Amino acid sequence: MKITSVKTILLKWECPVMSDALSVCTARQALLVKIETDTELYGIGEAFCYGSPLHVGRSIVEEQLAPMLIGQDPEQIENLWQTMYWRTIANGRRGVVMAAVSGIDIALWDLLGKMLKAPISTLLGRHQDRVPAYASGGFYAPGKSLDGLERELEGYVKKGYSAIKIKIGRNPHMPHNAIRYTADQSFGVSYEEDMRRLETARRILGKGKLAADINAAWTPMQVLAARKDFARVGLDWLEEPVRFEDREGCRMLVREMPGISLMGFETEQGLSNFTHLVEDQMVDIVQPDIGWGGGVSELVKIGAMALANHKPVSLHSFGSAIHFAASLQVAAALPNTECIESEENENMLKSGILTTPFEADEHMNFYVPRSHGLGIELDWDALEQYVIL
């Protein structure tokens, strides 16, 4: 079998306005990668690009990386990963180039699963059939009050979630808050309002796990100043409170907040960089993204490295159905999976492009799809309405 083409499919869906600490989202997008062969089999993956222009990713995939793959044996996934990495070493290693490599790698694993008639998790040596998940929501939105947040979180608990993550940190009047440099500072809140948001979440959630995501908008000293409030509301996990480049800041937070697990970093990439995070004691829970951090191949290595250092893993997942399916397959194979992110915002690129939706038990542990490759079947007619040229 040989690879005959590497194509991209660009998707976009106009969504209800929402925001985290820094960014305002008005549309969801996805950069899909389709690898075709000289047989009827193909593989599909997703390069997660954090809102960068989709045509940039398309150019990297189709013009820079595809020529390295055409005519090659798709079973040689590790060889192809290393080829893409080293031939782009001067302008790659991080950023959208690594995202493109990640999307291609996912597609290759999907193809391999179809060739061998097994899901990716089986090829990796599945550890579990169901993956625990936390509800990822609690975003800011125009006119969204504490009552609106309360109703949202009550819905998650009713579904069966016992762990929830909400956004905090959108504080335009806080000194040195990074939102001051963003294009849109709408519907920001005060620090006190954010603490009320956490109090509301804890009251609705009860004794379950509560996480807050700051998206690196605060400084280390601002995070430390909030630790008494975090302890008062019973915060369990704190995601990306500061930039991962701030090594001393991250180490200080891990050291000075022993009752709260620092989770990160979705924006970091590659095994060597995650190894530095772990060895430098900058995180408590390792949180890579499969469509950004290196694909299936690299995330398995990151998971093994974390296991060797007694660190749990929680995969970040904020993309399309392809991204979530790939995350489930890898999470199911890692013995140190703590949980997986289950986005609960309305997202038609996740919920509206499959013939069969993802399934979970009464406690929102997601069943790992058992069909070949990613284990999902795309509804190509439904997907077509979101395709952009």
CATH 3.40.50.720 fits 3-117, yes or no: no
Q: Please give the chain's pLDDT, 389 residues, in tens.
A: 999 999 999 999 999 999 999 999 999 999 999 999 999 999 999 999 998 999 999 999 999 999 999 999 999 999 999 999 999 999 999 999 999 999 999 999 999 999 999 999 999 999 999 999 999 999 999 999 999 999 999 999 999 999 999 999 999 999 999 999 999 999 999 999 999 999 999 999 999 999 999 999 999 999 999 999 999 999 999 999 999 999 999 999 999 999 999 999 999 999 999 999 999 999 999 999 999 999 999 999 999 999 999 999 999 999 999 999 999 999 999 999 999 999 999 999 999 999 999 999 999 999 999 999 999 999 999 999 999 98
How far, in Å, CA of 62 to CA of 64, rounded? 6
The pTM of the whole model exceeds 0.95:
yes
pLDDT tens sequence across 174-233: 999 999 999 999 999 999 999 999 999 999 999 999 999 999 999 999 999 999 999 999
Angle 136-186-189 (CA atoms, 0-180°, nearest 5)?
Answer: 65
Q: Classify domain 122-374 at the CATH superfamily level.
A: Enolase-like C-terminal domain (3.20.20.120)
Helix (H, G, I), strand (E, B) or coil at 41: coil
Domain assignments of the chain as residue spans, ordered by start: 3-117, 122-374
How far, in Å, CA of 218 to CA of 216, rounded? 6
Instruction: Identify whether the C-beta of residue 49 lies closer than 8 Å to the C-beta of residue 369.
Output: no
